[in-house]
A and B are shown apart, each in its own frame.
Chain A
Amino acid sequence: GNSVTQMEGPVTLSEEAFLTINCTYTATGYPSLFWYVQYPGEGLQLLLKATKADDKGSNKGFEATYRKETTSFHLEKGSVQVSDSAVYFCAPPSRTGNNRKLIWGLGTSLAVNP
């Protein structure tokens, strides 16, 4: 079946360091790809999304490009802040008939030290 593979954590960085969290997926024909973020003690919230191949999603300094040829949607940020400490989830959709359920990566925990 369809699956998503996300870089394992935890990832620990110093403030202002460069961040990459890798995400690859199997299956084709995804209309949209997503990254969600979960801050401590909260539910998940959408960080960014891309709606077609080669599309770049961006938000709060984070970016990810939908690479259809490599089936990847890696998350990047040029300079992380302490407030970026959270768990990040890659979620390409899984089609089931007319229902589109997201399949979730295991999440990558990020800790940013001052």
Chain B
Amino acid sequence: NAGVTQTPKFQVLKTGQSMTLQCAQDMNHNSMYWYRQDPGMGLRLIYYSASEGTTDKGEVPNGYNVSRLNKREFSLRLESAAPSQTSVYFCASSPATTKGTDTQYFGPGTRLTVL
């Protein structure tokens, strides 16, 4: 049981390049999330997927797109990278039961630098 996995772990891009961050979970969770973490800004939600087939914008969606490929996988795409997107990106998943609020399980993160 690997939990939440993310690839790559590190990436350096030049301004204007594109890339896709991959995320997969093997816990049969319904909801998945993409966050970015910046010094002094805490954790900010980029996009989330409440269930397979649905995606919604979070707090900072501009410059990003997502795809919920299936129940396991949720990818984040940067179409034209900008230095402001230099950050650590975390994927998370949660069971999303109807009662209460679920614990989120995080991947190890992708450290992205845009030059």
Q: Is B101 an interface residue (CB 8 A)?
A: yes
Within 8 A of A (CB), among B4-20: 4
Q: Is B90 an interface residue (CB 8 A)?
A: yes
Interface footprint category on A: 20 to 34
In Å, the complex CA distance between A104 and B101 comes to 14
Distance to closest chain B CB from A21 (angstroms): 14
**Interface-facing stretch out of B60-68, B70-78, B79-87, B105-113:** B105-113
A42, A89, A101, A106: most-surrounded residue (chain B CB, <10 A): A101
The number of A-B residue pairs with CB atoms under 8 Å apart is: 59
Contacts of B4 in A (CB 8 A): 43
Contact A43 B107 (CB under 8 A): yes
In Å, the complex CA distance between A49 and B103 comes to 9
Within 8 A of B (CB), among A67-81: none
Partner of B100, one of A32, A42, A102: A32
Q: A49-B103, A99-B31 are in contact. Are A104 and B108 (CB under 8 A)?
A: no
Contact A44 B106 (CB under 8 A): yes
Contact A43 B90 (CB under 8 A): yes
- Interface residue ranges, A against B (CB under 8 Å): 30-32, 34, 36, 42-46, 49, 51, 89, 93, 98-102, 104-107
- Interface residue ranges, B against A (CB under 8 Å): 4, 31, 33, 40-45, 48, 50, 56, 58, 90, 92, 96, 98-109
